[in-house]
Structure 1
Amino acid sequence: MSTVNNPYVSIGLPVYNGEQYLRETLDSILAQTFTDFELIISDNASTDNTEGICREYADRDKRISYYRNLKNIGAAGNYNRTFELSSGRYFKWAAHDDLIAPEFLERCVAVLDSEPSVVVCYTREVCIDEKGQPLRKRGNLLNLRSSKPRERFKEYHDLWYKRGFTHANQCFALIKSSALAKTPLIGSYVWSELALGAELLLLGEFYEIPEYLFFFRYHENTSRSTKKSRGYQQLAIWFDPKNRKKIILPQWKLFFQYLLAIKRVQMGWQDKAQCYVQMGRWLSWKWKSLIKELIQGVV
């Protein structure tokens, strides 16, 4: 096992004004049965008591490192900063309001240690409300175990666009740092987590542990509810404040980022060709909404 200066796992916790749920989240992380980890907190210039809570916990546990941005750099930049500061063999992002069961890291580390072909490991998800009460369970979603990148890519898109499936659990998975370092990380645009997921699955397999050990908290300030209640413009600003007053074309941006991911990843020509064919299918599924988005734009 590693030392505190060379941890086996790094957990990156980006936060902005998270005082309402932060203590509960930190307690769930510190209660892990797998203890060889560092916790990197990046505070995005919070104006509430987030800083005080973080410093209190950092003083209490030497595995915690607290950093504070001088200004709000957007969610994407803040998420990426936690990875840039990390040193672990495996990496996990943790939202300030979500929870993980004590066995989460232990189960995921065991899979990544024993399965060389797997780059992303996570568990099934329970959606909870503001008070932590369960709303619904979600499982059997992105268990992408084919040895062929093209087949994983096709299954991923079938889930997203043919079945109306929306899920970003891979962003809160345990990820091999060596694989994540090959990607552009989380981009400063809407749905960049989907592009990141696609690039990671081209690099290796996704493994879903059939236990409900991850608890996504749904409330009015989450990114999922922001899009639903306030639209793509506000969600784009959440990703990066520089997006304010910009024309937002989320589907077109995502399409071209998928193409760039296929280009970047080193794989056989058959895999690349089939992935590009899959993007042609993507256009056939989405062409009406793509044309509408291009004509109207989202401002």
Structure 2
Amino acid sequence: MTTHPRLSIGLPVYNGEEYLAEALDALLGQTYEDFELVISDNASTDGTQDICRKYEAQDPRVRYIRLTRNIGAAPNHNYVFTQCKGELFKWASHDDLYARDLLRRCVDALDEHPEVVLAHADQAVIDGDGRITVPYAYTLNTASPSAPERFRSMLFEAGGDDFYGVMRADVLRRVKPHDSYHHADRTFVAEIALHGPFHQVPELLYFRRDHPTRAERANPSKRSRCVNLDPRRAGLLHPTPRLLAEYVLGFVSAIQRAPLSAADRRACHRHLAAWMTSRARPGGAGERVEDRAPVDPALLTVDLDEIVAGRESRRGEQE
């Protein structure tokens, strides 16, 4: 009988040679080890393939898949999930960093709370050199037992990278795959939240890297970001108004598909209407976590070199 790891990590990547090895070291150095790491390379043209082949040869938990053409970030995210077999699943980014205990703490939370469908940890933004620039509190009320309250919170409150949490794979299979319109990741995670509460581990364990070549920075317009998500969005059939309309309709369809009572469904629609009204007002677009004022390094109590696997050797090479 073939046994599968309990957790699958899906890592979609395109031209990620600059930070990929750091992310792989951080993931493979986790204190929780019962996982597979499936890398789906979106036909990279840089040194990504060589890096992936090297790690695949070194660690049996790594499986590398190379696509013959660039299908776009969103289809690649969906594809790598279909190639994973674990009962739990996590997407990973090629340029982020992960403290050694991240996976263990998230899996433990899911085991301790069977009603929870996704677990993640406190987080911070780091720069290209791996220095913390903006730690931020998780203020979303996704732990609420009320589906409408979880939905309201995800509409109105900033922050949170729940997309990269550890999820129950059976729940993920019940939601619509990740789309490629404007902010499709927000509607995607909101639909997951309608299936059950999230758990936030109160410890700084996840570090999202913000750098000039990150997809959001390299594609500053809504149109270019959507084309990066899926090249089929290029052309006259997908103007910006359509991409925005699909964003709103994504929330509507998520409410309709979710296993909600009639009363909860009406409450979610009321929250959505209030959110749309707030967005229409001047200044109603909300804030980006990355644009907050950087923190004073002297106030930080977390040292990435101590809690992220592989950092100690890299720092030693730089000194």
Report the TM-score when normalising by structure 2: 0.84
- 8 A contact 2:39–2:62 mirrored in 1: yes
- Counterparts in 2 of 1:66-81, with a 5 A limit? 66-81=64-79
Aligned to 1:132: 130
Report the TM-score when normalising by structure 1: 0.89
- 8 A contact 1:118–1:207 mirrored in 2: yes
Quote the offset at 1:183 in angstroms.
1.0
Aligned to 2:20: 22
- 8 A contact 1:45–1:68 mirrored in 2: yes
Q: Which of residues 76, 90, 95 is equivalent to 1:92?
A: 90
Cα RMSD, aligned residues only: 1.6
Q: Within the alignment, does 1:32 sit opposite 2:30 as a pair?
A: yes
Q: Which of residues 205, 213, 232 is equivalent to 2:205?
A: 213
Q: Percent identity of the aligned residues?
A: 35
Paired letter, 1:286: R
Cα-to-partner distance string for 1:73-102 (whole Å, 9 max, x where unaligned): 000011111111111111110000001000
Cα-to-partner distance string for 1:241-282 (whole Å, 9 max, x where unaligned): 111123023432111010000000111111011111112112
Quote the Cα distance in structure 1 between the aligned partners of 2:193 and 2:84.
22
Paired letter, 1:232: K
Cα-to-partner distance string for 1:135-155 (whole Å, 9 max, x where unaligned): 110122334222121121122
Q: Which of residues 158, 165, 169 is equivalent to 1:173?
A: 165
Quote the offset at 1:8 in angstroms.
0.6
- 8 A contact 2:74–2:229 mirrored in 1: yes
- 8 A contact 1:190–1:239 mirrored in 2: no
Partner of 1:203, secondary structure, is coil
Aligned to 1:239: 229
Quote the Cα distance in structure 2 between the aligned partners of 1:234 and 1:157.
24
Cα-to-partner distance string for 1:152-183 (whole Å, 9 max, x where unaligned): 11222231xxxxx2x35011111111111111
- 8 A contact 2:145–2:197 mirrored in 1: yes
Quote the offset at 1:185 in angstroms.
2.4
Q: Cα–Cα, structure 1 residues 189 and 168, in superposed 2: closer, same or farther, change >3 Å? A: farther
- 8 A contact 1:142–1:207 mirrored in 2: no
Quote the offset at 1:283 in angstroms.
2.3
Partner of 1:65, secondary structure, is strand
Structure 1 ranges of 4+ moved more than 6 A? none
Runs of at least 5 residues in structure 1 that lack an aligned partner in the other structure: 160-164, 290-299
- 8 A contact 2:140–2:160 mirrored in 1: no
